[in-house]
Amino acid sequence: MTDRRYSWGRYPDIPQTAHACSWRSEVPELISAVATEHHSTLAFGNGRSYGDSCLAITDQVIQLRTLNRFIEVDWEHGIVTAEAGVTLAEILALSIPKGWFLSVTPGTQFVTLGGAIANDVHGKNHHLRGTFGNHVHSFGLLRHGQPPLNCSPCENPQLFAATIGGLGLTGVITWAKIQLIPINSSQIDSTIVRFENLAEFFRLSAELDHLHEYSVAWIDCLAKGTKTGRGVFTVGDHAPYGSLSVEKRKKLHVPVTPPFSLINNLSLHAFNETYWRVHPATPSRRRVSYEPFFYPLDGILEWNRIYGRKGFQQYQCVIPDAVAEVAMNELLAVIAAFGQGSFLAVLKRCGSVASPGLLSFPLPGTSLALDFPQNADLTALFQRMDAIVHQAGGRLYPAKDAHMNGNDFRQAYPAWEQLEALRDPSLLSRFWKRVTS
Ligand SMILES: Cc1cc2nc3c(=O)[nH]c(=O)nc-3n(C[C@H](O)[C@H](O)[C@H](O)COP(=O)(O)OP(=O)(O)OC[C@H]3O[C@@H](n4cnc5c(N)ncnc54)[C@H](O)[C@@H]3O)c2cc1C
């Protein structure tokens, strides 16, 4: 059965022919058939990666989303074993009523277990719990022409480490066993306060991060001068009591892709100014449901369409602590000088919990993520931003990337050669080809 799949940013806009399977037992034959006919392939989860890391060099992918069964659940210890195509939303639907939550979650619940491991995703609690890979007990891996392997810190440890953050290149993950965290309520006690500039963000982060499970900030990347980096800081914790209920709110839907981006500087200026002003100048506490707290964008299905037919790129970098404030100031100044803005602009301090993954993105420092409508000016802007990140010893996030140059990648991720040595030769992405050759 074949179908079409795209990456989330629709840039590059290259449709993937998806070869689906219904059962884990069919995966070896499917990899073999697609790799033999097209020379190579790549696992595809739910297409929530923005750039080209989820696009096969042959544009022929193995669609894993259809492997979506739970295999074993242990509610006494909060351990779930499920097929790789199960989404985080499906895990939460089962685990929340039992009093368990994902140890780490990215900003969308529509990613698969396999995709979350392959990009070693991080969330608002990186400063405490590290990445998704820190909470994986084991998984099943299929490599072309080999019997199925069990991977864990004790069994096939090299492949375990290389597959976490391994961008789908070491084999196809067919199932995984993960650890959840206990909760008493599905609500979050959150505190919100707006800040006037970047220095204040760093002050708030140093003061509050270690006191809360979750911490993140939105910034107004169009603000200039003394207001550079102003924004809204949010911290949160699972509420100590309340209901354990799964969100059932109806979602909106962007029905079509307009010919041009609905995000432009006029709409951005108005949005950013209003968004900043509606938030309180003194800390305000509220109890909110988990969905709007963790997944505000999931409320609008296919929101990526608002960027029009040319799509968009997300730029996400992380800068080491020692130079983070200086480099972030420089990045924001460059963005403002280019007159480019992003309505999504997220700042987050990452912690020092080491990931078991070889090529994991976060490092102790500060991460900045911005969405830009695809247009010609991005090349020059990204070159300037890349130079700042490079100079600061930072790096870009492959899960979001569609432009990084090979030299920067290889310098920022020196373990890439170890991953290449363990790569299944029948698996190759457009991203890997671009940055390693
Ligand atoms: C709104 C939004 C918010 C986001 N927020 C965050 C965030 O806060 N933090 C963060 O880290 N990321 C974030 N992301 C990125 C997203 O979490 C990752 O790109 C994630 O890996 C996507 O998972 P997927 O299942 O859609 O996989 P895909 O995007 O389809 O694939 C991702 C990679 O995983 C590989 N892969 C998929 N399934 C398998 C498998 N079974 N076996 C082997 N390899 C496999 C693919 O080959 C590819 O390399 C966000 C994305 C969106 C759209």
Report the 3 state secondary structure along 56-71. ECCCEEEECCCCCCEE
Instruction: Please state which of the ranges 103-117, 152-166, 169-183, 327-341 shows the lowest mean pLDDT.
Output: 327-341
Question: What band does 153 get if pLDDT is binned at 50, 70 and 90?
Answer: very high
Please tell me the distance between residue 400's alpha carbon and the centre of ligand 1 in angstroms: 9
Under 8 Å between Cβ of 110 and 89: yes
Nearest atom, ligand 1, residue 84 CA? 41
**Does 264 have pLDDT greater than 80?**
no
Coarse DSSP helix, strand, coil percentages of the chain, rounded to the nearest 5 percent: 35, 25, 40
Question: What band does 258 get if pLDDT is binned at 50, 70 and 90?
Answer: confident
Q: Whose CA is nearest to atom 3 of ligand 1?
A: 107
Q: Say what angle helices 378-391 and 324-337 make with each other, to 10 degrees.
A: 170
Instruction: Note the pLDDT of residue 262.
Output: 81
Question: What band does 256 get if pLDDT is binned at 50, 70 and 90?
Answer: confident
**In the chain, how long is the greatest CA-to-CA distance?**
62
**Does 268 have pLDDT greater than 90?**
no
Nearest atom, ligand 1, residue 56 CA? 47
Question: What band does 107 get if pLDDT is binned at 50, 70 and 90?
Answer: very high
Ligand 1 pocket member 332 (CB < 6 A): no
Residue to mutate (ligand 1; options 6, 30, 31, 48; most atoms within 8 A of CB): 48
Which token pair is 268?
A: 């951005």
Distance CA 334, CA 422 (A): 39
Under 8 Å between Cβ of 422 and 162: yes
Distance CA 151, CA 118 (A): 13
Size of the chain, expressed as the number of residues it contains: 437
**Does 25 have pLDDT greater than 60?**
yes
**Does 243 have pLDDT greater than 70?**
yes
**Does 135 have pLDDT greater than 70?**
yes
**Does 110 have pLDDT greater than 90?**
yes
Q: In which residue are the tokens 């779930």 written?
A: 80
Instruction: Note the pLDDT of residue 148.
Output: 98
Distance CA 339, CA 372 (A): 11
Secondary structure element (H or E) that encloses residue 198, with its range: helix 198-208
**Mean pLDDT, residues 161-190 taken together:** 98
Q: Does domain 187-409 have CATH number 3.40.50.2300?
A: no
Please tell me the distance between residue 412's alpha carbon and the centre of ligand 1 in angstroms: 20
* Span(s) in the chain for CATH 3.30.70.2520: 187-409
**Does 1 have pLDDT greater than 70?**
no
**Mean pLDDT, residues 173-181 taken together:** 98
Cis peptide upstream of residue 12 (ω within 30 degrees of 0): yes
Instruction: Note the pLDDT of residue 265.
Output: 74
CATH class of the domain comprising 70-183: alpha beta
- What residues have CB less than 8 Å from 29, skipping those under 6 apart? none
* Span(s) in the chain for CATH 3.30.465.10: 70-183
pLDDT tens string 64-92: 999 999 999 999 999 999 999 999 999 99
Q: Comparing C-alpha atoms, which of 297, 246, 371 is closest to residue 107?
A: 297
pLDDT tens string 29-59: 999 999 999 999 999 999 999 999 999 999 9
**Mean pLDDT, residues 3-30 taken together:** 96
Burial of 18 (0-12, 13-18, 19+ CB in 10 A): buried
**Mean pLDDT, residues 367-373 taken together:** 95
Please tell me the distance between residue 53's alpha carbon and the centre of ligand 1 in angstroms: 9
Distance CA 137, CA 149 (A): 14
Ligand 1 pocket member 42 (CB < 6 A): yes
Please tell me the distance between residue 114's alpha carbon and the centre of ligand 1 in angstroms: 8
Residue to mutate (ligand 1; options 112, 254, 305; most atoms within 8 A of CB): 112
Q: Is the dihedral of CA 136, 55, 7, 175 positive or negative?
A: negative
Distance CA 116, CA 120 (A): 6
Please tell me the distance between residue 279's alpha carbon and the centre of ligand 1 in angstroms: 31
Ligand 1 pocket member 116 (CB < 6 A): yes
With vertex at residue 171, the alpha carbon angle to CA 165 and CA 177, rounded to the nearest 5 degrees, is 65
Report the 3 state secondary structure along 304-338. HHHHCCCCEEEEEEEEEHHHHHHHHHHHHHHHHHC
Please tell me the distance between residue 110's alpha carbon and the centre of ligand 1 in angstroms: 9
**Does 145 have pLDDT greater than 90?**
yes
Please tell me the distance between residue 121's alpha carbon and the centre of ligand 1 in angstroms: 7
Question: What band does 2 get if pLDDT is binned at 50, 70 and 90?
Answer: low
Nearest atom, ligand 1, residue 304 CA? 53
**Does 283 have pLDDT greater than 80?**
yes
Residue to mutate (ligand 1; options 53, 54, 216; most atoms within 8 A of CB): 54
- Scored b (16 or more CB within 10 A) or e, 291-319 reads bebbbeebeeeeebbbbbebbbbbbbbbb
Q: Is the dihedral of CA 319, 310, 431, 30 positive or negative?
A: positive
Residue 61 CA, chain-centre distance (Å), reads: 20
Q: Whose CA is nearest to atom 36 of ligand 1?
A: 115
**Mean pLDDT, residues 305-334 taken together:** 95
> How many beta carbons lie within 10 A of that of residue 422, not counting itself?
18
Distance CA 418, CA 63 (A): 26
Instruction: Note the pLDDT of residue 61.
Output: 98
Under 8 Å between Cβ of 312 and 372: yes
Please tell me the distance between residue 44's alpha carbon and the centre of ligand 1 in angstroms: 9
Instruction: Note the pLDDT of residue 375.
Output: 82
Instruction: Note the pLDDT of residue 304.
Output: 93
